[in-house]
Amino acid sequence: MILYINSCVRSDSRTDRLARAVLDKMGSYTELYLPDEDIMPLTEAALEKRTALLAAGKLDDPMFDYAHQFAEADKIVISAPFWDGSFPSKLKVYIENIYAVGIVSRYSPDGTPIGLCRADELVYVTTAGGKYIPDFSYGYIKTLAEGCLGIKNTRLVMAEMLDIEGFDAEKILADRMKDL
């Protein structure tokens, strides 16, 4: 199963258009549209519940549905516009909610994370109005995927300079889509 994690809030999102061009090359997919999901940052009570469930081995609790969906995907595509030096906060909240030890990762005896995710590839799709800086967006996702979740192949698909005077945003997007 290909899992499309869509964090684009605009109905005419350029990032979503680019992601769908990527997905067209991959085949059928399941979309998780984060703006419509009731995902909240973890509170003290939620953390206590998660800790107790994990300690008891109750990994089938509905609290872990997103984690299971993520861990069981064969490929993952994330669309996230480049906003204010990073990605939309709903994506971070989603990541916070799926990171369940015993489902997406486990720890070695020395404390090193060992990924448990099935996906053989994660594609991070983004667009930027100006110059794209990957450090706090794709860089974070790549490090998490490869270092903690067990997804060894990550790649970045991006289009930048879309809001800079003198640049043709539609041509930049069309050219990038042709290069997929």
Q: What is the pTM of this model?
A: 0.94
The label of the residue with tokens 């997406």 reads 104
Residue 98 scores a pLDDT above 90: yes
CB atoms closer than 10 angstroms to residue 20? 18
Sign of CA dihedral 131, 94, 151, 115: positive
- SS3 string, 130-156, reads CCCCCCCCHHHHHHHHHHHHCCCCEEE
Confidence of residue 85 (pLDDT cuts 50, 70, 90): confident
- % of the chain exceeding 70 in pLDDT: 100
Residue 8 scores a pLDDT above 90: yes
Q: Residues 129, 158: contact at Cβ < 8 Å?
A: no
pLDDT digits (tens, 9 = 90+) for 34-64: 999 999 999 999 999 999 999 999 999 999 9
**Architecture of the domain defined by 2-178:** 3-Layer(aba) Sandwich (3.40)
For 110, counting Cβ atoms within 10 Å of its Cβ (0-12 exposed, 13-18 middle, 19+ buried), the class is: exposed
Q: How far, in Å, CA of 80 to CA of 158, rounded?
A: 10
The per-residue pLDDT for 159 is: 97
Residue 145 scores a pLDDT above 90: yes
Mean of the per-residue pLDDT values of the chain: 96
